[in-house]
Amino acid sequence: MNGNTGASYKPGKISRFFLHVYHAFAFVMRFFREAFLPPFHFKEFIRQCYNIGYRSLPLISITGFITGLVFTKQSRPSLADFGATSWLPSLVSIAIVRALAPLVTALICAGKVGSNIGAELGSMKVTEQIDAMEVSAINPYKYLVITRVLATTLMLPLLMFYTAFVGMMGSYLDVHANEQTSFISFFESAFSSINFLDYWASIVKALVYGFTISMVGSYKGFHASNGTTGVGQAANSAVVTSMFLIFIEEIIIVQISNFLRGGA
């Protein structure tokens, strides 16, 4: 027998993975336990809504406008081959409302909002500011996590509708420049193909994406370590993990919505 029998046990990769899953699940469940219990930090919630919503408008505006414009330009040649360019408004509205607006908004917010939450909470974690809040009898989870999660979950649907509007405006400018379609005719044709389920599916997507982005960013920030290096890793991991989960959620929600439409 050698002297290694007393060495500490180090879990393997699989054990560490399930341990991370357990901690993440507990982190999420804590949100549902504490979100609607006092105290409520309304001032911090409003500040986060401003930071997440208003400050994201410039980037969302440019991205949404370009998305609608480019998608219309790319779709025109295919429809022109069949003499169906009049279907462009309907095609663009279906694509933007059902898929592009929620997904583009979520990906932009994952990069901007998710990384910001991960970096901000990560820096507070490694500098022991979160520990200081606990000593001061302030619940850091309610003040830092719940306010950000609620703000992101609320603001993402609003940003999604704004992205859809800006994208449709970009599409209209291209259609008007080529087919001389009037503003009223364009939007009448566009919204004639959109039904109630399309709007609700997009809202559900935006709510789920917003919750995912903020929760992942908060979790990564709350568990940051190793100083400034850990802060950068938390921000990067928040973006990558959020985008990965967003695409998985996109597949699931699309399957459910198609089933409700009777297309599955």
For each of the chain's 264 residues, which pLDDT tens digit applies? 454 544 455 667 788 778 888 888 999 999 998 888 888 889 999 999 999 999 999 999 999 999 999 999 988 888 887 777 778 888 889 999 988 999 999 999 999 999 999 999 999 888 888 888 878 878 889 999 999 999 999 999 999 999 999 999 999 998 888 888 888 888 888 888 888 888 999 999 999 999 999 999 999 988 888 777 888 888 999 999 999 999 999 999 999 988 887 754
Cis before 77? omega within 30: no
Give me the pLDDT at residue 253, please.
92
Residue 216's Cβ-count burial label (10 Å; 0-12, 13-18, 19+) is buried
Residue 112 zone, left/alpha/beta (φ > 0; ψ -120 to 50; rest): alpha
Residue 58's Cβ-count burial label (10 Å; 0-12, 13-18, 19+) is exposed
Would you state the structure tokens that stand for residue 107, as one six-digit string? 């990906």
CA nearest neighbour of 168 among 264, 119, 101: 101
27 contacts 222 by C-beta, under 8 angstroms: yes
CA nearest neighbour of 249 among 149, 111, 109, 103: 103
Would you state the structure tokens that stand for residue 232, as one six-digit string? 């950068």
Residue 194 Cα distances to 89, 156, 199, 218, 263, angstroms: 11, 21, 8, 35, 16
Give me the pLDDT at residue 88, please.
86
Instruction: Indicate the pTM of the whole model.
Output: 0.88
Would you state the structure tokens that stand for residue 250, as one six-digit string? 């996109």
Q: Would you say the C-alpha torsion 88, 89, 94, 97 has a positive or negative sign?
A: positive
Q: How would you label 93-128 residue by residue, b for 16+ Cβ within 10 Å and e otherwise?
A: bbbbbbbbbbbbbbbbbbbbbbbbbbbbbbbbbbee
Q: Would you say the C-alpha torsion 138, 23, 157, 32 has a positive or negative sign?
A: negative
